[in-house]
Structures are given as C-alpha cells and as structure tokens.
Amino acid sequence: MISSTALESIGKSCKSLREISLSKCIGVTDDGISAIAACCTELNKLDLTCCRDLTDIAIKAVATSCRYLSSFMMESCGLVTERSLTMLGEGCPFLQELDLTDCRINNTGLKSISRCSELITLNLGFCLNISAEGIYHIGACCSNLQELNLYRSVGTGDAGLEAIANGCPRLKSINISYCINVTDNSMKSISRLQKLHNLEIRGCPGISSAGLSAIALGCKRIVALDVKGCYNIDDAGILAIADSCQNLRQINVSYCPISDVGLSTLARLSCLQNMKLVHLKNVTVNGFASALLDCESLKKLKLFEGLKFILPRSLIECLEARGCSIRWMDKPFVI
C-alpha cells in the first residue's frame, strides 16, 4: 500500500528521479502520480502496470510534465481512455516503449500515439477495440518499430498487418496469437520483414502451411516460432521452415497436425534448443523417439505426460544426460 502523500514526498525529495516502478502497487491514485510528474520532470521510465484506479488525470499530468519519457508501462489501467493517448502523442514525442495491454483504447487512440515516431516496442495485447484503421497509423508513422504485440486483439486483420509490413521494416518480433481474422495473406505481408526474429501466431485458424511457407522464404532469420493450435499447419509448412530457417532455436508446434515426417525434419536443425510438442496426435512413439534422439542441442522440451510411460526409458535418460530439461504436461486435448 502506497499513499499519495508518500509519492508526493518521494517526488519532492528525489527531483532528479529517472525511473520509478509502481507496478501492482495498491493505493496509487491520480493525485500521487500527478505529484510525481510535477516534481520529477526528468523522469525517463515509468511503470504503472495494474494501477487500476488511475484515470486520464494522471496520464495528463505525466504527458504535460515528463516530456523526455522514453518508457511507459500502463497495462490494465482500465479507466484510461483515448484522451490519454492524445496527450501522450502531443507531450511525449521521445517515447520508445509503450505498454497498453488490456487498456480501453480505440483507433483514435492509436492514431494519437502514432505521433510518437520513435517507438521501438509497442504492446497492444488484449486491446479489443482496435482494428486495421488504427493499426494503419502505426505502420504509417512508426518506422522504427521493432517489437509489436497484438495478442488477442481480435480486431486485427490482414489490412492492418499489411500496413505494418509496409511501414515497419525494422520489425524483429510480432505476436498476433489468437487474432482469428488473420489469414495467409498476412503471412505473405510479414514475409517481407527480413529482420524478423520472433513470430507468434498460435491459435490462428486462418493461417495454413502456405502462409508459413511464405514466412520461411522471406524471414530466414527466424529464431523463435510459435504455431501452437494452428490446425491448418501440417508437414508442408514445417518442411519449409526446416529447409530455410537454419537459425531456429525455439519452436512450439503443439496441437498441430504434423506427423513423423515433419518432426524428423525439425530434428535436423542443429541450433534447435527448445521444443514444445504437446498433443501431436499424428506423431507415433517411434517418431518421437527418433526425432528427439537426433536433437543433440536440445535444452528444453515440453511433452504430453502420457508419453512418459511409453517412450523408451533409455531415451529419456539420454536426453537428461545431455542437459535437456523435460516438462511433462497433463492437459487434456482440447480443440
């Protein structure tokens, strides 16, 4: 519990304060943040994650006084509206990192923050009121963007991601998991991002092996790939990734309809260190055993718990002797 009086005292005593984290602190109010902002005008990083009582009043104070703010975390500040983003766009032009996860923002708000052209990292997960219209402005104005998270922002579609691909050539990481309107057309757009290292598309039924093949051809620097629950990605897509993405270190293909063929192809990737292989219904016990034996660099492995009792004990001992940590999952298969 932290009071507004305490925050005011901190502000008055530490006027050169550059960073402060109040993440998940109880008692943080508009008055407290306004006091900090008024006193600590050199503030560079501010974390207000889950400070649920804050309103536009607090954000206005920050935007008005803290012009040189570069990192602002506002996850789950549910009372904040698009008016706050208008003020941030006007008052904090040097923002490089902004977290708006689970905030009540809309396309108007995205247009406002697109004025922060120095943005490198933007988190828009669980933002249910945004769509291509708003995402377009980010693509048009934020050419320095390197990380974009749209996890479960279900209004995201192909048009918005095309704008991102066209306008953000430096993008290294994108998460569009559970954006159910995304299709292979988005993968074709994203495939133009040659610097992409991390791609998360789990739970996207509109993405198939054709889309993943496009990624394989264009994004050869991929290091981490998550296609969990993409029921239309099969061996063909995995073969394309294995052929073209030789630097792949981490992959999640859980719940995908790949077979022994696809898994054995992945096993040929010498850099692969982390695999999540839960509920691969089309892979046989022999397929698992053969592929895992070939993965000599594997350090982390996630498998369905039922395999613990049918895979050769010698295989499990071999993996553990190599330094591989195995996590056994007992989750039921759910479509």
Domain boundaries along the sequence of the chain: 4-329
Report whether 168 contacts 142 (CB < 8 A).
yes
Q: Is the pLDDT of residue 287 over 80?
A: yes
Mean pLDDT to the nearest integer, 31-53? 97
- The predicted pLDDT at position 210 comes to 99
SS3 174: strand
Contact between 202 and 227 (Cβ < 8 Å): yes
Q: Average pLDDT, stretch 297-318?
A: 96
* This prediction's pTM: 0.96
Rg (CA), the chain: 23
Rounded CA gap, 315 and 290, in Å? Answer: 9
Residue 335: pLDDT over 70: no
Task: Calculate mean pLDDT across residues 212-218.
Answer: 99
Mean pLDDT of the chain: 97
Tell me which DSSP letter residue 311 carries.
Answer: S
Phi then psi for residue 33, to 5 deg, are -70, -35
The CA dihedral of 260, 228, 333, 232, to the nearest 10 degrees, is -70
What pLDDT is recorded for position 332?
Answer: 78
Residue 97 has pLDDT above 80, yes or no: yes
User: Given a cut of 80, is residue 15 above it in pLDDT?
Assistant: yes
4-329 adopts what CATH topology?
Answer: 3.80.10
As a whole-number percent, the residues of the chain with pLDDT over 90 amount to 97
Q: Place 1 in a pLDDT band, splitting at 50, 70 and 90.
A: confident
- pLDDT one-digit tens code per residue, 276-286: 999 999 999 99
* Span 47-77, pLDDT tens digits: 999 999 999 999 999 999 999 999 999 999 9
Q: What is the pLDDT of residues 127-185, one digit of tens each?
A: 999 999 999 999 999 999 999 999 999 999 999 999 999 999 999 999 999 999 999 99
Query: Exposure pattern of 3-25 as b/e (b: 16+ CB <10 Å)?
Result: ebeebbebbeeeeebeebebeeb
